[in-house]
Structure 1
């Protein structure tokens, strides 16, 4: 049986998934690694640890599926966006890998806006500390000696591909997520390079997402596969998630709800949103993805579990705090997310007037403000723990709906929504999505959508499939969730209040930040 390995290099883990030529999953392997924060605002990783995870999961996926290495058609890559690594002349890391979550460059955002007001219009990436162009400007100021030693500036995927194939290339998709690419010209933008204080020869050669590389013989032996096995560079994880769930037709959008979240739509040419709320990234040269990513997805439920609904107390103590908790027959000692969703299910939509703005980690879309902070509004004595949980879950969806509204305004009406990601598998999350978005939600059976998207790119590049559109026929739908009219009516009343409050709060985020700093 012939098969493809789709390798998804994520922020928390690398997942390698084997798919046959019909798109069916055959085997999977995953390996996690830490996200380090040695100082406030930092979000760093070890690039070589990630490389080892790529190598190990590739070997393990083949072994786990009992697959024949001689039937492997190729490797194809998905990778997290906005990663940054400086290398010396010997191609050794000068520093840890900086991830999208590293916010230490935030203070430079206003200066860059002033220095180059047209940067977003040329690059399609809102000016934000997640952006490599902002991080590079910051590094040039904060660590000038180290910055001067940088012979190469790469993403994690470029680093992995060079170690595997001994070539410095960056696919058009990853290049478009750096803030350094001129979307119209599809070359490195001179103004962005000036802001970043770097030279074009420090960056990799831009290639199509279907571009093929050759493995080094020693790497092929390490992976226990043939040296002739082609390596397809692939794209970024966000655009591949759209492809992986079959959301590439006009009028169809994808929602990803994992630790973070995103809403994205495929368009046929680069396009920008007038208020700079959305990004625009490449999938291929003639397919682009417009959308917005949020920092605060399922992470908010993790925070709720750890901070608001303690599970280290006795059942009697929990019942004293919240009778409703006991009436729902929820086991207080359980630390699972099912426990929280069972609590939330017992509360009516709208959480009896309790609204949560979920900006625990600052925010990307729609605010693009690293200083944004979370809050509860409307809290009364009648609210218990279950109300808090329900409000948190709803707040995440309200935030995504704000991104969706901007996307429809800029990219056209969306009729169909396909949801993926770990938390999108929850029936309660699905129902809240359907009710708030007022759309039917389709949940594909594919779980590893970015890895599958990488495999689809490879199947087309290698001639196994004729076009990317074939993916629409091959993605099975596991669940369909329709809006409930009574819930829709309630959310229609609450959503404007959520958005009006958010508009009022934005003027206070920087003041609060300054007050804490002082």
Structure 2
């Protein structure tokens, strides 16, 4: 079988679904029908918990591989790659057995840290690309240690990789999402480890981008087509999604909308621009970083509203972009760092009896678009130019109205990635050195839409500030 005929098996470890799909190796495009999905239902609690059952998750994912096997889609696989949610953590005992469920990015439980006046968080942020925020292991691990005595810690992708290969290792990309990585060196950061209260040998070993493992003996009989196939280390879904949309140069920002949303730029780690406090920075691979801003309400917001409002269409039919009087501040799931707005802080302002369900949906999508635009403008300034924009992800694919709203909010043309499976596509591209192109529609913002969005921007910003203040009361 020649290289152009080879296939890639991609595992996508999401928060709302675990998927396995097969791609053409030549361009990382999906093979029609070669996709299996296991729906994931996180468990949420009033204490701020947001967890996944590890055993159920892994068995559901492996069931997807069984389904592909039954349909003959695991023949001719040349590589296995993984795209994964960032920030998850599991506490382990000294035998490597999980002592906790998978604690996801949406979980708000952690401890407050008092490190004294000698701790320089600005320098810490510049070095690790993260903050001392509940999202990261620097605050998760002390919280877990306070209630138990775990021997080690790992993320969901590390444990999936261990099940597949027998080796508990992680990638520089996944490690960067823990908040414990020195971005410049690609090794665990000594100060971050000290803050977390662990040593490097309690965390998965970091392997280089070119590392590969192979399927363990346990699964060779179950999936004979994967015997000897190289298994590549996982790529964080944010980094993978950027590359998968075609946004992998310093002049292009990728806006991806899945369960959550983000706007990011991929660039070389060497000579990277100084990191503004408002942005995070993680690693794509050994040579590249990704800098951006993330938002907790996006595709989840869209899906929730269409269900709650019992809309027959996923589009706000009959509503002009920027034409709603109501303003929605989309803090339903709180905010990502450095802000600390908790979940349950979403607000509608200016509701009247004239508003329809479509108006409410439109206002929410406009609010989410304005949030993403805040990040895009910071990135414009950081990279010294008005960045080109590519749009990708399941949320983008689901709503033509939202695509036009984002384009009008950004007040610049956008390119829509034709491939909705941007995470899997990007993980394949990172592992195999591919350069996928967006290949989709080019959108030009309508002047009237731009004007209406510009007209409500000031009101939105003022009301957003009120929502932030109210969340701390």
> 1:187–1:91: structure 2 CA closer, same or farther, 3 Å change rule?
same
Say if 2:129 is the partner of 1:124. Answer: yes
Instruction: Name the structure 2 match of 1:418.
Output: 390
Q: Deviations over 1:272-325 (max 9, x none)?
A: 776522111111222111011110002223332344x3x4xxxxxxxxxxxxxx
Instruction: Name the structure 2 match of 1:249.
Output: 249
> 1:454–1:361: structure 2 CA closer, same or farther, 3 Å change rule?
same
Q: Is the 8 A contact 1:372 1:506 kept in 2?
A: no
Q: Which moved more, 1:55-64 or 1:493-502?
A: 55-64
CA distance in 1, matches of 2:234, 2:384: 27
Q: Is the 8 A contact 1:6 1:455 kept in 2?
A: yes
> 1:401–1:424: structure 2 CA closer, same or farther, 3 Å change rule?
same
CA distance in 2, matches of 1:37, 1:162: 27
Instruction: Name the structure 2 match of 1:318.
Output: none
Secondary structure of 2:44's match? coil
Say if 2:423 is the partner of 1:450. Answer: yes
Instruction: Name the structure 2 match of 1:73.
Output: 78
CA distance in 2, matches of 1:7, 1:385: 37
Secondary structure of 2:457's match? helix
> 1:421–1:226: structure 2 CA closer, same or farther, 3 Å change rule?
closer
- What is the Cα deviation at residue 92 of structure 1? 0.7
Instruction: Name the structure 1 match of 2:346.
Output: 374
Instruction: Name the structure 2 match of 1:21.
Output: 25
Say if 2:329 is the partner of 1:357. Answer: yes
Instruction: Name the structure 2 match of 1:277.
Output: 278
TM-score w.r.t. the length of structure 2 is 0.91
Q: Is the 8 A contact 1:251 1:412 kept in 2?
A: no
Say if 2:102 is the partner of 1:97. Answer: yes
Q: Deviations over 1:430-470 (max 9, x none)?
A: 1101100112221222111111112223333xxxxxxx4x3
Instruction: Name the structure 2 match of 1:137.
Output: 142
Instruction: Name the structure 1 match of 2:11.
Output: 7
Q: Which moved more, 1:82-91 or 1:214-223?
A: 214-223
Given candidates 363, 370, 380, the residue that maps to 1:398 is: 370
> 1:454–1:377: structure 2 CA closer, same or farther, 3 Å change rule?
same
- What is the Cα deviation at residue 225 of structure 1? 2.4
CA distance in 1, matches of 2:285, 2:126: 20
Q: Which moved more, 1:272-281 or 1:438-447?
A: 272-281
Paired residues for 1:495-506 under 5 Å:
495-506=457-468
Say if 2:55 is the partner of 1:48. Answer: yes
Given candidates 463, 467, 489, the residue that maps to 2:451 is: 489
Q: Deviations over 1:37-77 (max 9, x none)?
A: 2443101111122222332222323443x3362x2112111
CA distance in 2, matches of 1:11, 1:113: 35
- What is the Cα deviation at residue 231 of structure 1? 0.6
CA distance in 2, matches of 1:443, 1:99: 29
Mark the runs of 5 or more structure 2 residues left unpaired by the alignment. none
Q: Is the 8 A contact 2:173 2:284 kept in 1?
A: yes
Q: Deviations over 1:60-107 (max 9, x none)?
A: 23443x3362x21121111110000111111110111101010012x6
> 1:365–1:492: structure 2 CA closer, same or farther, 3 Å change rule?
farther
CA distance in 2, matches of 1:445, 1:347: 26
CA distance in 1, matches of 2:385, 2:63: 43
Given candidates 334, 338, 356, the residue that maps to 1:384 is: 356
> 1:381–1:410: structure 2 CA closer, same or farther, 3 Å change rule?
same
> 1:38–1:489: structure 2 CA closer, same or farther, 3 Å change rule?
closer
Given candidates 88, 92, 112, the residue that maps to 1:87 is: 92
Instruction: Name the structure 2 match of 1:315.
Output: none
Q: Is the 8 A contact 2:74 2:226 kept in 1?
A: no
Instruction: Name the structure 2 match of 1:201.
Output: 201
Instruction: Name the structure 2 match of 1:463.
Output: none
Task: Look at both structures and tell me which one has the larger radius of gyration over its CA atoms.
Answer: 1
CA distance in 1, matches of 2:41, 2:303: 17
Say if 2:408 is the partner of 1:435. Answer: yes
Q: Is the 8 A contact 2:323 2:452 kept in 1?
A: no
> 1:367–1:33: structure 2 CA closer, same or farther, 3 Å change rule?
same
Secondary structure of 1:213's match? coil
Instruction: Name the structure 2 match of 1:480.
Output: 442
The answer to which structure has the higher helix fraction is 1
CA distance in 2, matches of 1:459, 1:180: 26
CA distance in 2, matches of 1:11, 1:272: 31
TM-score w.r.t. the length of structure 1 is 0.84
Secondary structure of 1:455's match? helix
- What is the Cα deviation at residue 155 of structure 1? 0.7
Secondary structure of 2:259's match? coil
Q: Is the 8 A contact 1:349 1:490 kept in 2?
A: yes
- What is the Cα deviation at residue 427 of structure 1? 0.9
CA distance in 1, matches of 2:467, 2:20: 42
- What is the Cα deviation at residue 9 of structure 1? 0.8
Q: Is the 8 A contact 1:74 1:230 kept in 2?
A: yes
